[in-house]
Structure 1
Amino acid sequence: MATTELGAALRHWRDHVSPQAVGLSAGGRRRAAGLRREELSQLAGVSADYIIRLEQGRATKPSPQIVEALARALRLTQDERAHLFRLAGLAPPGPGTVPRHITPGVHRMLDRLTGTPVAVFDAAWNQLLANPLYTALMGEWHGNDLNGAWRNFLNPDHRVRHTPESKGALQAALVADLRRTSGRYPDDANLQSLIAELCRRSAHFNDLWESGAVGEHEAGRKTVDHPQVGELTLDCDVLSVAGSDLRIMVYTAQPGTEDADRLALLNVIGTQSLVG
């Protein structure tokens, strides 16, 4: 299809999504009710200049990752997302690939949990979305570090405190979970590439992968060393979204404890620094 159709569709969806619908403040006076390009850029992680070029038909071949990010930021339905892929000249992801679509209902749930750290992951442990308090708690990740397995095997800089035993148990659970996901989505090239790269870079990951264990990463209790509010010990629960294989990670503190007070403080000072 012509790229002008893609541009027109993006502009249409952008014009019909209010800032409040995607968790943003409407701010002062606006010439139009929809999202500004800068706001869509912030939500999707795509430059505003590239969005302009897409809308004007000057950018002709957006990558699947960019199309996915725009669909997520615009909160498109499954059918609208598939249509956007086709307008971009791409085949919508098939049933043999890891689902990465976040439904509008999951988006709305995150909008309402502003006082709780929440993030959404796909079945390969790629972080798809995080609310401001989750980012304030765990830090802001980019690139490969958005993948939980990559981060836990190849990046020593993170805030969760581990003993050798707890670290080993977490890594074994992540590998077993990835093997389960690999069996369910054999056609996902990104997943196979992730596994191959982890096997190449981490001897420990490779040994665990060769063991053949299959399992599921479960909830636990975690201690986070935060640079602003200090130590927090929180319950970490992983909820599954039926029909989409998404994982919603939720951190909560026991009411009436110092951990709850520190989490409430972080909700004020941490999220302010992210938005400011």
Structure 2
Amino acid sequence: MTDEHSYEALMARCLGRVSTEVDKREGSILYDALAPACAELAVLYTELETMLDRAWPDTAAGADLDKKAAERSLVRAPASSAVREGRFTGADGGAFDVPIGTRFSGGAVNFTVTERREAGVFRLTAETPGSAGNTWFGTLFPIDYVEGLAGAELGEVLVPGDDAEDDESLRARYFGSFESQAFGGNRADYREKVLSLPGVGGVKIFRTPEGGGTVGLTLVDSLWGVPSDDLVAAVQAAIDPVSGQGDGAGLAPIGHTVTVRPAVGKTIDVALT
């Protein structure tokens, strides 16, 4: 609230409209009559400023920002569940296959077995959406009884879980939508579509890396690391599932042959005393 709309300022303005022949001192009948009205006016001005803040994208938050973003056909990215690799062993120490749907607990998050990768190695999906599913590594404890199971370990993050998009990220996308128009397979279109996929943190787009009609996408995951093969495959399936055909079966336009690759990690040795 600005100074001119404060209770003290409003009282001074109202009392200034009254003749000096009338008693305007604090405690007088006139003063006591004006005070409640000025207090209510000060509250009203505060609420008006709040309403204005809620109406503009640079100050709106939460549901109000969602409504402003919807004007640009933008939707806040929801939280996504982490996909992890689980390894299971039997009493003999060898690989052990657990039933699909079996539930395990790791840290504060529960995981469900969703897909077999190879003997004793499975994909597990966090039941709690968000980044919490990325943090636990080590022993898993079975929630469901599995006869013959002797050991369970939670390992690699295959697809990182992401928290729901925060206000500042959505606000940046809102203002960014005025600077470039996503349409028909241009860079903005690819960037918008790829970054909306779960687990993707960044993408670099290459024009015709393998000749006319080809597009190259290089990814980092949402943990800003080298993405797993599973994440790269998931993005490839979403963008251009029939790579080499350019038939528009995914999000890429007809005529665009898209190849998705992971960023290459680089080791940097740091020595200090």
TM-score in same-fold range (> 0.5):
no
Higher strand share: 2
Higher helix share: 1
Q: Which has the higher contact order (CA 8 A, sep 6+)?
A: 1
Larger radius of gyration: 2
TM-score by length of 1: 0.25
TM-score by length of 2: 0.25
